[in-house]
Amino acid sequence: MVTPVGLTVEESWANLLAGVSGAAPITKFDPSRSSVRFACEVKNFDPSPYIDKKEARRYDLFAQYGLAAGHQAMVQAGLAEPGVINPARGGCIIGAGIGGMQTFTDNVEAYLTKGPERVSPFFVPMFIPDIAAGLASIRYNLRGPNFATVSACASGAHAIGTSWQLIKGGIADVMLAGGCEAATTGLTVAAFGNMKALSTRNDEPTKASRPFDRGRDGFVLADGAGMMVLEEYEHAKARGATILGEIIGYGASGDAYHITSPPADGHGAMQAMQMCLESGNIALEDVDYINAHGTSTPQGDIAETSAVKAVFGDHARKLVFASTKSMTGHALGAAGAIEAVISLLVARTGEMPPTINNDDPDPDCDLDCVPNVKRSAPVRVALSNSFGFGGHNVTLAVRAL
């Protein structure tokens, strides 16, 4: 992982358990004219351990984050060096909700102020959302399925779920999958701010993301990346891989309702969770933890809570339904992948990061969100929910092995 609270899995996980907020005043541009002047930026990122300095100048930051997180995953899996697997049986899917937004805005400004001759010849391959997957495929000689999923805030989760399906279908043995985003730009902050989607707590950035709290007023924009190596079980065993866990379910649905707002009853989220449980033959009572989409928006948090209650019935009050976006912010296309990694860590360790800033719980969001302080308890199955503009819904199920 590369997140607003850490540049590795270990650092991010430690800070999540400690309840550290990644929100702070924006540093990537001058936000003085913006209605929102804070975000969850990635801090102190240095691409040089992962990417040649000359090459890095030709990659937008979102791709740099994706390659960094991808390399961490490939090293852990023992696949960073060539020759370990059949290249034709290895693939890569990396989701991005927006892609190279800084590259886009820089080149639009160059075009409008300096003329067409000043547009970078690298503009297109730096901007397109699929380039992170392409770069990773080249780097690790992955010649199997290779593309991007672009489904707003469900992109990273779609990438993981689709990769799981490709392996189950016999199309690939190994897939590098996840999501990356670096959308904290003046244009993006202005756009989300003008549509009233963002929190405006400029004086208290670390208190701004407050899922399920009565005082929530919008999400906090974030950057980052989360990546996983998925591998067919017998293939992984045969090469002696260190296996961290198992993906046992995947559900995907569409709200068919509104371009940005979820339906009040959360029917699309319900369907995704039900499909996920059915795909893995998972009993309701075996689910101990759900990493909520939980963006800290007034409508979204209530709709997701309603959906969980509808799916799980009485068991909804016995499971944990927490939002790590209270600390990481909302990393758009990377969010689902970051949270899939977090869900796996929860299942492996039994440690549950808190939902911070839950000081005045909304009575309509009355499930156990692990308010403010981490908790330890055995977790048999963990779910991860991701929902995106356009009505895209994904649920993933993971367990430890």
Q: pLDDT value at position 151?
A: 98
Same domain for 130 and 186, yes or no, is yes
Q: pLDDT value at position 23?
A: 98
Q: Confirm whether 355 is domain-assigned.
A: yes
Q: Confirm whether 3 is domain-assigned.
A: no
Distance CA 155, CA 97 (A): 6
Q: What stretches in the chain show pLDDT beneath 70?
A: none
Is residue 153 annotated as part of the catalytic site, yes or no? yes
Same domain for 231 and 302, yes or no, is no
Same domain for 87 and 223, yes or no, is yes
Distance CA 130, CA 149 (A): 8
Q: Confirm whether 334 is domain-assigned.
A: yes
State pLDDT tens for residues 68-123.
999 999 999 999 998 999 999 999 999 999 999 999 999 999 999 999 999 999 99
Same domain for 103 and 145, yes or no, is yes
Question: Of the residues 293, 365, 369, 392, which is catalytic?
Answer: 293
Distance CA 47, CA 225 (A): 13
Same domain for 207 and 348, yes or no, is no
Q: Confirm whether 268 is domain-assigned.
A: yes
Same domain for 266 and 186, yes or no, is no
| Whether this model's pTM surpasses 0.95 | yes
**Cα angle vertex 373, ends 3, 335, to 5°?**
25
Q: pLDDT value at position 219?
A: 98
Same domain for 96 and 178, yes or no, is yes
Same domain for 271 and 220, yes or no, is no
Same domain for 252 and 210, yes or no, is no
Same domain for 249 and 378, yes or no, is yes
Q: pLDDT value at position 10?
A: 98
Same domain for 49 and 125, yes or no, is yes
Q: What CATH number is given to the structural domain containing 304? A: 3.40.47.10
**How many domains in the chain?**
2
Q: Where are the beta strands (DSSP E) in 218-360?
A: 224-231, 245-254, 287-291, 320-322, 351-352
- Of 238, 267, 282, the residue that ends a domain is 238
Domain limits for position 201: 9-238
Relative to beta strand 287-291, strand 245-254 is unpaired
- Of 238, 266, 287, the residue that ends a domain is 238
Question: Of the residues 71, 267, 330, 392, which is catalytic?
Answer: 330
Q: pLDDT value at position 41?
A: 98
Q: pLDDT value at position 391?
A: 97
Helical residues (DSSP H) of 239-314, grouped into ranges: 267-279, 298-312
Is residue 293 annotated as part of the catalytic site, yes or no? yes
Question: String of b and e for 213-224 (b: at least 16 CB within 10 Å)?
Answer: beebebbbbbbb
Question: Of the residues 40, 153, 276, 369, which is catalytic?
Answer: 153
Helical residues (DSSP H) of 45-93, grouped into ranges: 53-56, 61-77
Same domain for 384 and 266, yes or no, is yes
Q: pLDDT value at position 213?
A: 98
Q: pLDDT value at position 189?
A: 98
Q: pLDDT value at position 156?
A: 98
Q: Confirm whether 2 is domain-assigned.
A: no
- Of 193, 209, 238, the residue that ends a domain is 238
